[in-house]
Each structure stands twice: as structure tokens, then as C-alpha cells.
């Protein structure tokens, strides 16, 4: 669907300076990233964290932008018809709402937050209520007709509104959305019609942004505090953060438990045949899940609780056919080597512990659990030694390598990781990630399992200012292919 409205209609009664001779220019999109500009776009030019959008107006023009909205025409010469605004971000959102027919008023949002498990829970929930829901998350934006890779877990307001408008045009009634702590703190969920929220868990991460765990938790708490009384809040009561969220919200609580004692609206358990059983007020539901780990059983339970809260009743068949999200304990095709290889996004100590714990029961009695991982540069440094500790405690063989070093020296990051390694544990160090993965796969014997952790679905590696194509899944598959042909 293509949207189109004249500028004079989009800026009507807004406190902006708009020359009368441009009022009839027709706008078909509102963007703030030159990569998103298409013919007919209104480009929002404002200072940003890395770039000043006002310097990029010529690029926007070359891409087909029809006009620009900016905050300072007096100090610049625009090569595009220009609208001046003292608040280009806020006024840009108003214009986008008008252009896209106010999608934030029409599409109900189920927000999923937590340190780990957001993507899997969101994928499960969308699958349960499909085709009634679109999806926005760390891997992709799915408007049910088209899937596009995500740049941010929780996108900015302009991309969010455009995506929601497309979902509405495709017949969606709900948006299942991952809500990162950054996105919440930066107000990217402001103005959304929240039907409910899910809190998966909370552990140390993103302290480079929030500074302290208290501030990190406060960002999550703000989401639940914003829920109206008509909304629902699905909480993992096995996690200590649940009590904080419960005390912060006016929404109807749906409490899920697997290990802890206490009242539960949904009790999660494993059956003797390896299945999952959900016991709740509406009876018992049984399912089988292809992804290993109790954490994924809880992800399923929370997604099912949210689906039930909006009146959906997913069938047992649908519950037992959950898709595996890209890079979430995703198996690599390892036929013929007698071992198994998984790729997972685990990039915190708790996530690494959860993944290794989930895989341990799958290792043969005389097999070994091998892990290869690194830590990202220019990000929370406090988790690096903790990840080293977890890996050396739970894996039989540890290979430490680079993740996305960004502007840090890989050796410095690796030293931080090694500082947490358990005394006496031998660790292989290989800064080149591709070589490290090859070494880990080369170690595998019959009945072993390898976990390649940290990057999951990512298709690039960030090294300095370079963006290098790199996909753990493809690298592993290529290594296996070479081994098979040799």
C-alpha cells in the first residue's frame, strides 16, 4: 500500500514554518535515515549520536526525497524544499501519524522485554496468533507479507509507524514487539496502544548504557508501570525481577512458574516423554518443543499465556510446531560427523549458562561439550569475566575468540574474559573467529556437542570501523562442507 498526502495537510496547525509554495508537494513516507529514503519521502534532518542529519540532506535528495523537515534553516542552505521546526523529532512523529492514518491508535501491541528470551518468546507468540499479528524484533520486521532485517531491536518512531501501517493494511490486529531497555528508556514505545507485556528475566547486561543494574531494571519497570488496567502482564515468577514488575503495574497479572514455589496462573512442567505441560485455570495443555532447555519451556508458557489473554486458543498441533528463531540454539546441518553443532545468540553470562545447561543433557555419556565464544567491544565490560567463569565451569572444552570487537583490541577483551576462568582450567585462545570455529569443530568426536555462542543470527562482524560479512552458521557449514569433501 502506498500512502500520499500533501505537505499542507500533514503540517496543518503544527507550529512549523512552511513556505506556501511547497504546500502542494505530495509526501509518501517520513524517514530519518538516508537508507530509507524513497521518491516522495519527507526527510527529517536533525543532529544525531553519530551523524548530523542536516549534513545528509544532499544524500536524501539524491535518493528522491521530496522535502526536508529540520530545525535550523538560518545556518544552512537546503537543496530541498524545507520546513523549519523547533522540534523536528516530535513534529516528524505527528506528520508520520497523519500520513499513515494513526496506526498507533489502531494496532494493539504486546511488548516483550527481558535480558534473554525476547526473540524466542516473540517468535512463539506470533506463531500462535498468526496471521493476526506482525512482528518486530532483533532479527526482523515481519508485516506478514514481507520480512526485512532489523537494524535495532526496538526501532525508532518513524520506522515503527510505517511498519505498523503496513501490518494494518495486511489485516493484522496485533503487533508482537521486542522492547529493549534502550528502546524503553529512549521513549520508542511512547504513544503505543499496549494490550499487554511479557517480562522474561533480568540479569546483568547493557550497563555501558544504563550505568547500574538499578537503572537497567528501572527501564524495564517503566514499561510495566505504563500498562493500563485493561492490559495484562505475564511474569516469569522464577526470576526475582517478577516481584518488582508486579508491584509496578496496574495491569492484570498472569504468573508463570516452573521451578519456584508459590501461586501460579500457569505452572510449567516437563513430562516423562520430554514434552511440556502447561497447567492453568483453563485446563491442561501439552506440547512438544524442538528447542532444548527449560528456558524455552518457560518462553513457550509465557507466549501461550499472552495468546490466551487476548482470546486466542492455540491448538496442540500449533504449540508443537514452534519455529526455531534464527541463531537461537539453531542446529547446523552436521549430518555424518557424529556430533552436533548449535549456534546461539548467548552474549551474557546468564544466557551462556542457560544455553550450556540446555545442551548438557544432549551430550553422550562419554561425549564432551565444547563452547566457542567471545565478548563484544565497546559494550558492558563487567560481564566478560563472568562469561569466562560460566564457560569454564559448564563446558568441557573452551575456545575464547573475538565477537564484535568494534574499536577495542580483541586481545584486551579476551584478557577480560580469561580473568574469570576457573583456576586450573585449560582454555584455547584464538582471536580469529573463523579459525576458532574451525578449531572447535575439529575437536569434535562421536557424541560431542559444540556451541558457537555470542552472535547468533548476525551476518556481519564489526571490527574497528569495518563491517565484515560473517555468519557463524555459514562459517560452520562451510567448514563441515570442506571436511566432508576432503
Residue range 268-283, pLDDT digits in tens: 999 888 899 999 988 9
| 51 shares its domain with 197 | no
| 269 shares its domain with 374 | no
β-pair partners for 255: 235
* Residue 383: pLDDT band with limits 50, 70, 90: very high
Question: What torsion, rounded to 10 degrees, do the Cα atoms 91, 96, 99, 105 define?
Answer: -110
**Residue 29 within a domain:** yes
Domain end position, chosen among 256, 286, 319: 319
**Residue 465 within a domain:** yes
For residue 27, the domain's CATH number is 3.40.1390.10
Does the structure show a pLDDT above 90 at 47?
no
* Residue 426: pLDDT band with limits 50, 70, 90: confident
| 121 shares its domain with 255 | yes
Between residues 257 and 426, the one the model is more confident about: 257
| 286 shares its domain with 409 | no
Taking residues 87-100, report their average pLDDT: 97
Question: What torsion, rounded to 10 degrees, do the Cα atoms 435, 439, 442, 444 define?
Answer: -130
Distance from C-alpha of 351 to C-alpha of 374, rounded to nearest angstrom: 13
Position 248 scores a pLDDT of: 98
Does the structure show a pLDDT above 80 at 1?
no
| 392 shares its domain with 459 | yes
Averaged pLDDT score across all residues of the chain: 94
**Residue 121 within a domain:** yes
| 130 shares its domain with 258 | yes
* Helical pair 157-169 and 88-99, crossing angle rounded to 10 deg: 10
| 261 shares its domain with 132 | yes
Does the structure show a pLDDT above 80 at 308?
yes
* Angle value at C-alpha 98, between 28 and 147, nearest 5 degrees: 55
* Residue 68: pLDDT band with limits 50, 70, 90: very high
**Residue 324 within a domain:** no
For residue 235, the domain's CATH number is 3.40.1190.10
Position 95 scores a pLDDT of: 98
| 157 shares its domain with 305 | yes
Pick from 344, 333, 311: nearest CA to 457 = 344
The model carries a pTM of 0.93
Taking residues 396-407, report their average pLDDT: 98
| 382 shares its domain with 263 | no
Domain end position, chosen among 99, 130, 153: 99
**Residue 204 within a domain:** yes
Position 484 scores a pLDDT of: 58
DSSP SS3 for 300 = helix
Position 486 scores a pLDDT of: 54
The least confident of 95-99, 149-153, 302-306 is: 149-153
**Residue 209 within a domain:** yes
| 429 shares its domain with 468 | yes
| 165 shares its domain with 250 | yes
The strand pair at 29-31 and 41-45 is best described as: parallel
| 182 shares its domain with 224 | yes
The least confident of 59-63, 336-340, 450-454 is: 336-340
* Angle value at C-alpha 183, between 177 and 184, nearest 5 degrees: 90
Position 485 scores a pLDDT of: 59
H helix or E strand, kind and range, residue 160? helix 157-169
**Residue 325 within a domain:** no
**Residue 197 within a domain:** yes
- What domain count does the chain have? 3
Domain end position, chosen among 297, 319, 341: 319
The least confident of 173-187, 324-338, 382-396, 448-462 is: 324-338
The strand pair at 67-70 and 82-85 is best described as: parallel
For residue 447, the domain's CATH number is 3.90.190.20
Position 367 scores a pLDDT of: 97
Contact 371, 356 (CB under 8 A): yes
* Cell 508537494 -> residue: 25
Pick from 356, 18, 408: nearest CA to 10 = 18
Percent of the chain scoring above 90 in pLDDT: 88
Position 206 scores a pLDDT of: 78
Position 75 scores a pLDDT of: 55
pLDDT in tens, 431-445: 999 999 999 999 999
Range of the domain at 271: 103-319
* Residue 2: pLDDT band with limits 50, 70, 90: confident
Amino acid at each position: 500500500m502506498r500512502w500520499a498526502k500533501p505537505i499542507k495537510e500533514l503540517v496543518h496547525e503544527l507550529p512549523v514554518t512552511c513556505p506556501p509554495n511547497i504546500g502542494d508537494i505530495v509526501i509518501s513516507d517520513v524517514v530519518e535515515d538516508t537508507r530509507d529514503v524513497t521518491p516522495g519521502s519527507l526527510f527529517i534532518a536533525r543532529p544525531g549520536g553519530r551523524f548530523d542529519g542536516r549534513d545528509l540532506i544532499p544524500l536524501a535528495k539524491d535518493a528522491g526525497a521530496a522535502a526536508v523537515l529540520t530545525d535550523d534553516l538560518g545556518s544552512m542552505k537546503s537543496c530541498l524544499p524545507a520546513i523549519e521546526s523547533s522540534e523536528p523529532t516530535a513534529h516528524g512523529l505527528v506528520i508520520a501519524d497523519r500520513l499513515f492514518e494513526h496506526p498507533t491508535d489502531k494496532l494493539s501491541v504486546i511488548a516483550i522485554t527481558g535480558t534473554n528470551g525476547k526473540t524466542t518468546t516473540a517468535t512463539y507468540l506470533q506463531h500462535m496468533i498468526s496471521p493476526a499479528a506482525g512482528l518486530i524484533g532483533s532479527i526482523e520486521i515481519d508485516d506478514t507479507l514481507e520480512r526485512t532485517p532489523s537494524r535495532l531491536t526496538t526501532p525508532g518512531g518513524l520506522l515503527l509507524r510505517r511498519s505498523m501501517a503496513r501490518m494494518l493494511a495486511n489485516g493484522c490486529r496485533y503487533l508482537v514487539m521486542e522492547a529493549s531497555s534502550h528502546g524503553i528508556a529512549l521513549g520508542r514505545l511512547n504513544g503505543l496502544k499496549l494490550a499487554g507485556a511479557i517480562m522474561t528475566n533480568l540479569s546483568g547486561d547493557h550497563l555501558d548504557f544504563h550505568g547500574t543494574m538499578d537503572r537497567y531494571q528501572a527501564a524495564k519497570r517503566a514499561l510495566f508501570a505504563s500498562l493500563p488496567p485493561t492490559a495484562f502482564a505475564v511474569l516469569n515468577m522464577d526470576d526475582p525481577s517478577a516481584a518488582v514488575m508486579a508491584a509496578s503495574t496496574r495491569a492484570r497479572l498472569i504468573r508463570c512458574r516452573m521451578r519456584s514455589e508459590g501461586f501460579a496462573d500457569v505452572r510449567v512442567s516437563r513430562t516423562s516423554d520430554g514434552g511440556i505441560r502447561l497447567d492453568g485455570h483453563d485446563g491442561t495443555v501439552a506440547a512438544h518443543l524442538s528447542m532444548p532447555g527449560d528456558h524455552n519451556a518457560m518462553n513457550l508458557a509465557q507466549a501461550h499465556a499472552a495468546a490466551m489473554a487476548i482470546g486466542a486458543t492455540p491448538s496442540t498441533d500449533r504449540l508443537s510446531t514452534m519455529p526455531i528463531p534464527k541463531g537461537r540454539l539453531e542446529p547446523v546441518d552436521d549430518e555424518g560427523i557424529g556430533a552436533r553443532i548449535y549456534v546461539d545468540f548467548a552474549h551474557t553470562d546468564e544466557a551462556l549458562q542457560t544455553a550450556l545447561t540446555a545442551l548438557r543433557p544432549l551430550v553422550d555419556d562419554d561425549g564432551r561439550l565444547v563452547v566457542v565464544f567471545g565478548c563484544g567491544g565497546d559494550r558492558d565490560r563487567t560481564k566478560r569475566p563472568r562469561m569466562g567463569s560460566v564457560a569454564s565451569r559448564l563446558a568441557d572444552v573452551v575456545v575464547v575468540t573475538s565477537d564484535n570487537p568494534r574499536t577495542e583490541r580483541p586481545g584486551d577483551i579476551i584478557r577480560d574474559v580469561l580473568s574469570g576462568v576457573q583456576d586450573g582450567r585449560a582454555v584455547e585462545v584464538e582471536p580469529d573467529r573463523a579459525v576458532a570455529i574451525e578449531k572447535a569443530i575439529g575437536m569434535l568426536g562421536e557424541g560431542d556437542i559444540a556451541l558457537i555462542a555470542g552472535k547468533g543470527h548476525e551476518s556481519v562482524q564489526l571490527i574497528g570501523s569495518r563491517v565484515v560479512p560473517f555468519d557463524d552458521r555459514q562459517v560452520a557449514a562451510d567448514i563441515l562442507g570442506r571436511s566432508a569433501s576432503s
